[in-house]
C-alpha cells in the first residue's frame, strides 16, 4: 500500500515538472568566443539534464562583442562566453551584461575570479607562467616576472605582440602590483631582451624557443598542454617535452592567472535559463570536463584537473581581483606602446 502511494506522488511530480517545461519557451541563446568543440558536449549535457535547448553562436571574441553592441536591445543573446578578464571588463563597460545574484555562482567561484558587482563570472582558469628550454636557463636566476627585464636575458625571450590581450592583462597585473612607472621601466627592459620582433601566437613562442630562436617563452599553460597531448603530431609533442615551467613570484604575489568567463546579457529574454546555464558550468562535473578538455584549471577549488596540468606542479596564483586587469588595460596598452613593444 505504502509503496503504491509513493509511486503515485512521484508520478504526479513528474507530470507537474513536464507540464512546467512545456509552459515556458525552454531555450537559452549563447554567444561563445570558445570553439564549438570546446563547449558543445557540455551544452548537450545541460540540455539533457534540464530540457533547455541551447542555441549556440560561435565567433571570434571581438566580433561577438561588436555584434552584441550593434544588436543592442534586439539581441537574441542571453549569455556571452569569452576569454580574458580584460575582455569581460570591456563587455561590462559597454553595459552588455546585467548583475546576477546567485549563491551557487558565489560559492563556487572564488571572489577574485568574478566581477565584484556580479556582472561576469570566471568559468575556467588559465595561467601565464615563464617557460624555458630545459638546460638553457638556470631557474634559480629567473624567479619573478620582474626578472625578465634583467640584462642576463638579452636576446633570449620570445613573447607575442602587445596587441594580444593575454599580454595586456599580464602587464595590467604588474601595474596592479608595482605601479605604472616601475612597470614601464620593466617593459622597456623586457623589450630590450626580445630575441625577435613579436610574431604569432603563444604556441609559436614555444616552437621558436625549441627551434633555438630564444631560450625563454611566455605562454599560457594550455598551449603547452595541448602540444603535449597532440597524439597526431609527434613533432609538437617532442618539442613541448623540451620545455619546462617556472612558476613566477612564488615568494610574493603569485603567478599571473586569467579566466574564461561569462555574463548574462542585459536584454536577455531567458534570464532564468541563462543563470541555470552558468550554474551548470560551475558544477563539479562540468568544471572537471571543461578543464580536462581545454587543459585549463578549474575555477572551483577542489575539482580534479588534467593529468598534464598536474604534472606542471602546484603553484601560488596572484590573488588580485581580475577586475583590475580590465581597469588597468588602457594604461597597460599605452605603456607597452611607449616601451616599443609591438
Ligand atoms: Fe588562447
- Decide whether 27-126+258-306 matches 127-256+321-338 in CATH topology: yes
pLDDT of residue 141: 95
**Alpha-carbon span 278 to 283, nearest angstrom:** 9
Q: 27-126+258-306 in CATH: which number?
A: 3.40.190.10
Q: Which three cell numbers mark 161? A: 605582440
- Global pTM reads 0.89
**Alpha-carbon span 324 to 207, nearest angstrom:** 31
CA 138 to ligand 1 center in whole angstroms: 28
DSSP element (H, E) containing 336 = helix 329-338
Q: Is the dihedral of CA 289, 292, 295, 297 positive or negative?
A: positive
Could you list the pLDDT tens digit for every one of the 342 residues in the chain?
Answer: 333 344 444 444 444 444 444 445 699 999 999 989 889 999 999 999 999 999 999 999 999 999 999 999 999 999 999 999 999 999 999 999 999 999 999 999 999 999 999 999 999 999 999 999 999 999 999 999 999 999 999 999 999 999 999 999 999 999 999 999 999 999 999 999 999 999 999 999 999 999 999 999 999 999 999 999 988 889 899 999 999 999 999 999 999 999 999 999 999 999 999 999 999 999 999 999 988 888 999 999 999 888 899 999 999 999 999 999 999 999 999 999 999 999
Of 94, 65, 41, 28, the closest CA to residue 269 belongs to 28
**Alpha-carbon span 299 to 291, nearest angstrom:** 9
| Cβ-based burial of 138 (10 A; exposed 0-12, middle 13-18, buried ≥19) | exposed
**Alpha-carbon span 247 to 139, nearest angstrom:** 10
Domain ranges, ordered by start, for the chain: 27-126+258-306, 127-256+321-338
Of 224, 245, 244, 247, the closest CA to residue 236 belongs to 224
CA 147 to ligand 1 center in whole angstroms: 24
CA 167 to ligand 1 center in whole angstroms: 11
Q: Please tell me what DSSP assigns to residue 36.
A: G
CA 89 vs CA 121, 194, 222, 259, 268: distances in Å: 11, 29, 22, 12, 19
CA 143 to ligand 1 center in whole angstroms: 24
Q: Which three cell numbers mark 234? A: 609527434
Instruction: Kindly indicate whether the domain formed by 127-256+321-338 is annotated with CATH number 3.40.190.10.
Output: yes
pLDDT of residue 230: 85
CA 88 to ligand 1 center in whole angstroms: 15
pLDDT of residue 10: 44
CA 202 to ligand 1 center in whole angstroms: 8
CB 84 within 8 A of CB 165: yes
Of 246, 247, 255, the closest CA to residue 320 belongs to 255
CA 341 to ligand 1 center in whole angstroms: 20
pLDDT of residue 24: 54
CA 85 to ligand 1 center in whole angstroms: 13
Q: Which three cell numbers mark 303? A: 575539482
CA 134 vs CA 144, 210, 308, 317: distances in Å: 18, 9, 17, 23
CA 285 to ligand 1 center in whole angstroms: 23
CB 61 within 8 A of CB 82: yes
CA 34 to ligand 1 center in whole angstroms: 9
The upper half-sphere exposure of residue 237, i.e. CA atoms within 13 Å in the direction of its Cβ, equals 8
Amino acid at each position: 500500500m505504502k509503496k503504491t502511494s509513493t509511486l503515485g506522488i512521484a508520478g504526479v511530480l513528474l507530470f507537474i515538472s513536464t507540464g512546467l517545461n512545456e509552459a515556458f519557451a525552454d531555450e537559452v541563446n549563447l554567444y561563445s568566443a570558445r570553439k564549438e568543440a570546446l563547449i558543445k558536449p557540455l551544452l548537450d549535457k545541460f540540455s539533457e539534464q534540464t530540457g533547455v535547448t541551447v542555441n549556440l553562436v560561435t565567433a571570434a571574441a571581438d566580433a561577438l562583442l561588436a555584434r552584441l553592441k550593434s544588436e543592442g536591445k534586439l539581441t537574441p543573446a542571453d549569455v556571452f562566453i569569452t576569454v580574458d578578464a580584460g575582455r569581460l571588463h570591456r563587455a561590462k563597460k559597454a553595459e552588455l551584461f546585467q548583475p546576477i545574484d546567485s549563491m551557487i555562482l558565489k560559492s563556487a567561484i572564488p571572489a577574485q575570479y568574478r566581477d565584484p558587482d556580479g556582472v561576469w563570472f570566471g568559468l575556467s582558469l588559465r595561467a601565464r607562467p615563464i617557460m624555458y628550454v630545459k638546460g638553457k636557463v638556470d631557474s634559480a636566476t629567473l624567479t619573478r616576472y620582474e626578472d625578465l627585464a634583467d640584462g642576463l636575458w638579452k636576446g633570449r625571450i620570445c613573447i607575442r605582440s602587445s596587441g594580444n590581450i593575454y599580454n595586456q592583462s599580464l602587464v595590467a597585473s604588474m601595474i596592479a602590483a608595482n605601479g605604472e612607472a616601475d612597470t614601464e621601466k620593466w617593459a622597456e627592459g623586457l623589450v630590450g631582451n626580445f630575441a625577435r620582433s613579436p610574431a604569432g601566437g603563444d604556441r609559436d613562442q614555444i616552437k621558436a624557443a625549441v627551434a633555438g630562436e630564444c631560450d625563454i617563452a611566455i605562454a599560457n599553460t594550455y598551449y603547452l598542454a595541448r602540444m603535449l597531448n597532440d597524439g597526431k603530431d609527434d613533432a609538437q609533442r617532442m618539442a613541448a617535452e623540451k620545455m619546462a615551467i617556472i612558476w613566477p613570484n612564488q615568494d610574493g604575489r603569485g603567478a599571473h592567472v586569467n579566466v574564461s568567463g561569462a555574463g548574462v546579457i542585459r536584454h536577455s529574454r531567458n534570464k532564468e535559463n541563462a543563470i541555470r546555464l552558468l550554474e551548470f558550468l560551475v558544477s563539479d562535473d562540468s568544471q572537471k570536463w571543461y578543464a580536462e578538455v581545454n587543459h585549463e584549471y578549474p575555477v572551483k577549488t577542489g575539482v580534479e584537473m588534467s593529468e598534464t596540468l598536474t604534472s606542471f606542479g602546484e603553484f601560488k596564483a596572484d590573488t588580485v581581483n581580475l577586475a583590475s586587469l580590465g581597469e588597468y588595460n588602457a594604461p597597460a596598452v599605452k605603456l607597452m606602446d611607449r616601451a616599443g613593444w609591438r
